Amino acid sequence: MKRSIGTIAVATILAGTVAWSFAAAPAAAAEPFYKGKTIKITVRSAPGGGYDFYGRLLGRHLARHIAGKPDIVVINLPGAGGIVATNYLMNRAKRNGTELAILNRELAMAQRVKSTGVKYDVRKLIIIGSAASSTQIVVVAGNHPVKTLADLKNYDKQVLMAVTGPGSGSYQGATLLKLDGFPIKVITGYSGGQERFLAIARGEVHGTVNSYESTTAAIREHGLRRIAYYGAKHPTLGDDVPHVRTGLSKNGRQLVALMGAPMAAGRPFFTTPGVPADRVKILRAAFKATIEDPQLIKEAKRAKRSVGWTGPKDMRQIYDDTLNASDEVVNLFLGGAKKPKKDTSKYAKHEGKVTKIKRGGRRIWISYKGKEVGAKISGSRTKVTVAGKKAKRKAIKVGMNCRFTYPKPGEEATNVDCK
């Protein structure tokens, strides 16, 4: 039996319509996974601290950047320096992408040294990103022959690096280079960044290590040259300023990874193992967009908190370097690269009237046996007493009778006793 052209056309159209409707049905029914869901953010510490601030800050802004706009709740799970929260995320939290946590910046180090209670493996946790970061910059005077990190490594003379004291970022950064074979001489006794920048400008020293954000003005004003950085890479640093690891030995790279971890991944967020890749992608993109959200940035500024995104790739490198660090490097890091205690039993004790004071008490001279002898006075390391009471160095005045305890004239005093 013959079918008319019209019948065939109608049948074809109907068949196409049915086929389209079946194909379109799943797409029409598909909804964002997070619609109607609740994301829980666990904070590794009690309410009120820095981790809590960033956890709740993300909690207030993250949903706007996730399709489906899920509800977000923030809970605190303090204990054991963040280990309790990390163990929870690793072993008990839901593995479907609805649980995040802001964990301890030293979680990889705790695992590396086998801290009591660690029941997690940072290699299995899924990194979302870090909400705050900072950069340390190595700078030298603009007119110094050293122009690059490679120049510094191969320089045939000592490069004087101004620092504050042991434990400070400037001291650790300069000491790292020295320990790794760079021709660095660490010059302590400077009270802060501005004093170190002025010392470079005057030619007393050749360079320093400092927070990049706190150094940008000095780079412009004094023509300082940026030769390397560690920590997070600041957005304004180009490829001409390398990470310091590019010039370090294996041990040096491991040590700088340990030093840089709290800066590059200072407020790290994770989700559980086992989350599907598409949801991980959603969470990471939303996290980055949230950190760059003008509303969040404005709120952080009001609270006088910095924000800065560090991505999963950089964070994973930091954690891998930490876990692979040698015992020698870990012990050096845990010791803080501090100087051994000085034997002061053979220090000189010179007493006389104060004849001259410079730089707000940082340099003081007395008359001793007919000669003028001077000492450096540290605001933190030199113990100063006036009339038997603890005092600041600015309390010392010309005409006072003072006794210096120091290795020799011209060096930093451990004690200055005046009356």
Location of structure tokens 């904070």: 43
- Is CATH 3.40.190.150 the right assignment for the domain spanning 38-130+265-309? yes
> Which strands form 38-43's sheet, in the order they lie side by side?
71-76, 38-43, 99-102, 268-271, 126-130
Cα angle 315, 56, 81 (rounded to 5 degrees) comes to: 60
Helix (H), strand (E) counts: the chain? 13, 17
pLDDT of residue 342: 62
**For the chain, what are the domain ranges?**
38-130+265-309, 135-261, 348-418
pLDDT of residue 7: 43
User: What kind of fold does domain 135-261 have according to CATH?
Assistant: D-Maltodextrin-Binding Protein; domain 2 (3.40.190)
Per-residue pLDDT of 255-308, as tens digits, reads 887 887 777 788 999 999 999 999 999 999 999 999 999 999 999 999 878 898
User: What kind of fold does domain 348-418 have according to CATH?
Assistant: OB fold (Dihydrolipoamide Acetyltransferase, E2P) (2.40.50)
Q: What is the C-alpha to C-alpha distance for residues 59 and 338, in angstroms, rounded to an integer?
A: 40
Q: Do the first three CATH levels of 38-130+265-309 and 135-261 match, i.e. the same topology?
A: yes
One digit per residue, the tens of pLDDT, for the chain of length 419 reads: 444 444 444 444 344 444 444 444 444 446 899 999 999 999 998 888 888 999 999 999 999 999 999 999 999 999 888 999 999 999 999 999 999 999 998 899 889 988 889 999 999 999 999 998 878 899 999 999 999 999 999 999 999 999 976 656 788 789 889 988 999 999 988 877 888 999 999 999 999 998 887 898 899 999 999 999 998 888 789 999 999 999 999 888 888 878 877 777 889 999 999 999 999 999 999 999 999 999 999 999 998 788 989 899 989 988 998 898 888 888 877 765 444 456 677 899 999 999 999 988 999 999 999 999 999 999 888 999 999 999 999 999 999 999 999 999 999 999 999 99
Per-residue pLDDT of 194-203, as tens digits, reads 889 999 999 9
Q: What is the C-alpha to C-alpha distance for residues 212 and 210, in angstroms, rounded to an integer?
A: 6
Buried b vs exposed e over 62-95: b needs ≥16 C-beta within 10 Å?
A: bbebbeeebebebebbbbbbbbbbbbbbbeebee
Question: Is the pTM above the cut of 0.75?
Answer: no
